Structure 1
Amino acid sequence: MSATFSGTLEYLRAPLLRNITSGSRVLVLSDTAHDPRVWQAVMTILADIGAEATVALFERRPADYYNPPEAVCEAMMKSDFNILLASTGMLHSPANFRAMEARIPAICMDGGMTLEMFQSGAVTDDMKMIALRKHYVAKNVFGANAQECRVTSRHGTDFTYSVKDRITQPPLPGDDFDSFKIVDFAQDENRPGNNLYYYLFPTGEFNVAPVEYSANGKLVIDLTMHHIGRVYSPIELTVKDGRVISIDGDADARILRDYLTAYGDDNAYMCPAEASVGVNAKAVVRGIQREDKNIMGTMHFGLGTNVDVGGSIKSNIHMDGVILHPTLYVDGTKRIEDGNFLVPIESD
């Protein structure tokens, strides 16, 4: 199979050139449902670098967070870098957590990203500005002592949850900030208690893991959701004491109900596992959750696992759903209105 390349590969090249050197053992993970031009382009770049690169190509996993085949899991532990290019998210799979715990970093560009998505949109934003915005969203939108959030939206969201003691503040990027360096999250982003060791591309979200079992109300997903893609009929989640008790709507709600029944577990209905804010100024609506959740001023809410973002819940899956124009109140004060920040997020 030959690759057809058009446009520039400079954005795809940047994190690889920064972290990988000649002779590095690199495992590239992809599946048969993913755009093959991406792994082919990556292999071309790795050949230019002089890395010892291998592609592991396998059938698409049934859900995000599922491991690749066992032989690939074993190979992940014998590489210097694992590059994740699958159509499902593997960054927080058990196999990748084991690799990160062993200090084998991942470069994550999975979740259905096509080659065109590495040439425009979210990947083109200034990574230092994203780091700056994350710092000021933590400081000015939430604040270290934030207690309760309320989110509303034009589609009927009215949802509350506690963030008590869950707001971490990434440091301000200094003059020596390295936009494409592998991130040790405990050290580099003040998120202790995990083994997160990766570079995520594209990026652009400020993560919060709300207090488990604290959420109540109606959460309406209106833009994009894991597995479903672009949401054309809003999905209404009714949440009581941090658990989804009903999923209402039309075709997309039916898809989500069926998906959770087939691939979820009891903890897959925990909500919100994550409640995060998009801070990427170049991200655009793609119908692909990997980009859409980074759009400036959006919020996305997760179901299932949240140990990776500072919580305590483990599940077979994690699914993010994006609200395009949320309004966010923090302890009664409006901080985001219809997707527009009401406080500065690039300065004090």
Structure 2
Amino acid sequence: MYLSRGASKVVQMCAGVQAGEQVLIITEQSRESIARALATEVYRVGAEPILCVMEPRSQDGQEPPRSIAAAMKVSDVFLSVVGRSITHTHAVKDAIAAGSRGLVLTQFTEEMMIHGGIEGDFASLKPVCIAMAQALAGAEKVVLTSPGGTHLEYSAAGRRGNHLYCMVEKGQFSTLPTVEANISPLEGTANGVIVADGSIPYIGIGVLEEPVTMKVKDGRITSISGGRQAQILADDLAAKNDPNVYNIAEHGVGLNPACRFCGFMLEDEGVYGSCHIGIGTSITLGGKVKASCHYDVIMKNGTIIADGRTLMKDGQVLL
């Protein structure tokens, strides 16, 4: 009962499901209550829900089973309600290219279906999100700084800006409930230092106890330092034995005032005024790298200057 309001918003406002459409809901056993609430709402509006329960992926960014990937391509809408992310996969990229529209509810909890970012006014945030993405698109030089010590410079020449505002049309996907604009830096151009002081909502790290510092040279992380949580990240990336996991894949900007830091990926990334740097896979964002994972490291109160124009100052959007 308590999930029904959130399910209605996801199905009707965010996905725009229409009577007669086929809606594929991808989930795993730990998220079945949320998936079934969505399926109930899909059926209520006259569409056909198809519920696929898969074995949880062993790591974020791992492809779903081939049968599910094929079903995604022929669906009108797909909803991913999973614990381990399948966002940055060929399955999502191919489904969108085939004309499906998708929403990604990674790490969603029942509580997130009721409170927090899902309460955001997505329609009013849409123009701000689009404007930020357009301002970042193709910038020759972007400078990201934060009070915590981040100073990262990169080029986005020739790169598209992505706007994810929790509402999708044909051939689009969005994460939920984060509202974010992002861009994939040109490979090999990022240099400086990243200091995450908000959250690293992966592999059990969550809200940060102390800052995690990452040095960046020629588009890749060269060192990770800090306390206990920094060591978890460093050990996990090293264990993947994949140099592409250190790629600077994304610069995202959180724009949802209803989000709050709670340790869950798509809630933390949307916190208004935060910025996140995605590392690893970039193929779904306009980049060229496919890695073993895609992790985001989040800092508070970012300042962004693109080709000399200040887009955000200490966490406040100036567009």
Normalised to the residue count of structure 1, the TM-score between the two structures is 0.80
1:183/1:199 contact within 8 Å kept: no
Code of the residue aligned with 1:133 in structure 2: it is V
Structure-to-structure mapping, 1:135-154, within 5 angstroms: 135-138=130-133, 142=135, 146-154=139-147
1:302 is matched with which residue? Answer: 278
Q: Is 1:243–2:247 an aligned residue pair?
A: no
Distance change >3 Å, CA 220–CA 27, structure 1 → 2: same
- The secondary structure found in structure 1 opposite 2:263 is coil
1:63/1:263 contact within 8 Å kept: no
Cα distance in structure 2, aligned partners of 1:269 and 1:28 = 32
1:97 is matched with which residue? Answer: 93
Q: Is 1:31–2:45 an aligned residue pair?
A: no
Code of the residue aligned with 2:80 in structure 1: it is L
Cα distance in structure 2, aligned partners of 1:234 and 1:67 = 31
- The secondary structure found in structure 1 opposite 2:296 is strand
Shift of residue 145 of structure 1? 6.9
- The secondary structure found in structure 2 opposite 1:247 is strand
Code of the residue aligned with 1:276 in structure 2: it is G
2:122/2:167 contact within 8 Å kept: no
- The secondary structure found in structure 2 opposite 1:309 is coil
1:72 is matched with which residue? Answer: 68
Code of the residue aligned with 2:259 in structure 1: it is A
1:174 is matched with which residue? Answer: none
Shift of residue 37 of structure 1? 2.4
Distance change >3 Å, CA 145–CA 112, structure 1 → 2: closer
Instruction: Spell out, residue by residue over 1:150-197, the C-alpha distance to the aligned partner (whole angstroms, 9 max, x if none).
Output: 223333222222233436497xxxxxxxx875334xxxxxxxxxxx53
1:166/1:310 contact within 8 Å kept: yes
2:154 is matched with which residue? Answer: 161
2:237/2:245 contact within 8 Å kept: yes
Code of the residue aligned with 1:255 in structure 2: it is I
1:129 is matched with which residue? Answer: 124
In structure 2, list runs of 5 or more residues that go unmatched: none
Shift of residue 321 of structure 1? 1.2
Q: Is 1:313–2:306 an aligned residue pair?
A: no
Q: How many equivalent pairs are there?
A: 314
Code of the residue aligned with 1:29 in structure 2: it is I
Code of the residue aligned with 2:25 in structure 1: it is V
Q: Is 1:52–2:52 an aligned residue pair?
A: no
- The secondary structure found in structure 2 opposite 1:319 is strand
2:4/2:41 contact within 8 Å kept: no
Cα distance in structure 1, aligned partners of 2:20 and 2:241 = 40
Shift of residue 339 of structure 1? 1.6
Cα distance in structure 1, aligned partners of 2:10 and 2:147 = 38
Distance change >3 Å, CA 253–CA 45, structure 1 → 2: same
Distance change >3 Å, CA 263–CA 14, structure 1 → 2: same
Distance change >3 Å, CA 181–CA 277, structure 1 → 2: closer
Report the more deviating stretch, 218-227 or 20-29.
20-29
Q: Is 1:87–2:83 an aligned residue pair?
A: yes
2:262 is matched with which residue? Answer: 286
Distance change >3 Å, CA 166–CA 220, structure 1 → 2: same
Shift of residue 146 of structure 1? 3.7
Cα distance in structure 1, aligned partners of 2:50 and 2:306 = 47
Code of the residue aligned with 1:48 in structure 2: it is R
Q: Is 1:113–2:90 an aligned residue pair?
A: no
Cα distance in structure 1, aligned partners of 2:150 and 2:58 = 29
2:275/2:298 contact within 8 Å kept: yes
Which one of the candidate residues 256, 259, 262 is aligned to 2:236? 259
Cα distance in structure 1, aligned partners of 2:92 and 2:158 = 28
- The secondary structure found in structure 2 opposite 1:207 is strand
Shift of residue 33 of structure 1? 4.0
In structure 1, list runs of 5 or more residues that go unmatched: 171-178, 185-195
Cα distance in structure 1, aligned partners of 2:33 and 2:136 = 43
Cα distance in structure 2, aligned partners of 1:329 and 1:311 = 21
